[in-house]
A = this chain, B = another copy of it.
Amino acid sequence: MEKKRVRLVVAYDGTNYHGWQIQSNGITIESELNRCLSELLQEPIEVIGASRTDAGVHALGNIAVFDTTSRMPAEKISYALNQRLPEDIRIQASEEVAPDWHPRYCESRKTYEYRIYRGEFPMPVKRLYSHFTYRPLDVESMRQAAHYLVGEHDFKSFCQTGAQVESTVRTIFSLEVEEQGAELVIRVCGNGFLYNMVRIIAGTLMEVGQGKRTPESMTEILEQKHRQAAGPTAPANGLMLMKYEFLR
């Protein structure tokens, strides 16, 4: 039987999941996709994810691919799969790709947003998708600090220790800090991100906003190449994977 490779754009609310990657002790986005795809296509399916997001992290457009011998047209799979998935996971698009196309070995631009809700008290309708802080943040300092991180750098200081990667050099194309009313949005676009990198950037920029670090200290943090040089890892709920753009 002929096999084809299908690419999915996957959106989810990560609140109730143990992250993307299959685990023995909890339901994950990957396990739900595998279960529902296997039921739908009547064969065992195992997806490959582009970004293995942590527990509590959300996505508007993560990417998964899988191979199938099903004759269901690739474009129809999004509709049929959404009928089976829980309401906090929704496929946004499905299409056939080349049999050797792999989301992790393909040049791409990834955009993440880290959202902070600023107020005297938490706002219930923001709690699942924004990190709350009552501390005042100097947005202009955060923007200045962000500027130092743009470009190609060794981001080892912004990588969770224990992560096994060949190289910790990445390129950030843009890093903006945007005010949206009571919310502050840190929007970062890059060619790739190390483990917890966006959350460590967010935690470090927040320390700059609180006056605990200077914008200029970003240079030193990069130079130290040590996780302890940077600020804390900001909580997962504020993080959202916005989109993947593949360059070939």
List residues of A whose CB falls within 8 A of some B CB: 11-13, 58, 60, 78, 82, 87-92, 119-125, 127-129, 240
Give the residue among A11, A87, A240 with the most B Cβ atoms within 10 A: A11
* Contact residues in B for A119 (Cβ distance below 8 Å): 92
CA distance A238 to B123 in the complex (A): 17
* CB-based contact A58/B91 at 8 Å: no
Whether A78 lies near B11 (C-beta < 8 A) is no
A166 to B13, CA, bound (A): 44
| Contacting pair B78 A124 (CB below 8 A) | no
**A60, B123: Cβ atoms under 8 Å?**
yes
Contacts beyond the supplied A11-B124, A92-B123, A125-B128: 16 A-B pairs with Cβ under 8 Å: A11-B125, A12-B124, A12-B125, A13-B124, A13-B125, A60-B123, A87-B122, A88-B127, A89-B124, A90-B123, A90-B124, A92-B119, A92-B121, A125-B129, A125-B240, A128-B128
Given the complex, which residues of B lie within 8 Å of A122, measured CB to CB?
A: 82, 87, 90
Q: Report Cα–Cα, A121/B12, bound state, in Å.
A: 12
Q: How far is the CB of A138 from chain B (nearest CB, A)?
A: 24
Residues A121 and B91 in contact in the complex (CB < 8 Å), given A13-B127, A127-B13: yes
In whole angstroms, how far apart are the Cα atoms of A89 and B58 in the complex? 22
7 CB < 8 A contacts A-B: A11-B121, A11-B124, A58-B125, A91-B121, A92-B120, A92-B123, A125-B240
Query: Closest residue to A122 on the B side, CB-wise?
Result: B90
Determine how close the nearest CB of chain B comes to the CB of A235; give it in whole angstroms: 14
Given B60, B89, B121, B240, which contacts A78 in the complex, CB threshold below 8 Å?
Answer: B121
- Whether the Cβ atoms of A127 and B58 lie closer than 8 Å is no
By beta carbon, the residue of chain B nearest A124 is B13
- Chain B residue with Cβ nearest A13: B124
Distance of A42 Cα from B78 Cα, bound (Å): 55
Minimum distance in angstroms from A77 CB to a CB of chain B: 12
Say whether A124 contacts B91, CB under 8 Å.
no
Contacts of A121 in B (CB 8 A): 11, 78, 82, 90-92
Of all chain B residues, the one with the shortest Cβ separation from A91 is B121
Q: Shortest Cβ distance from A113 into chain B, in angstroms?
A: 11
Instruction: Report A165 CB to chain B, min CB distance, Å.
Output: 29
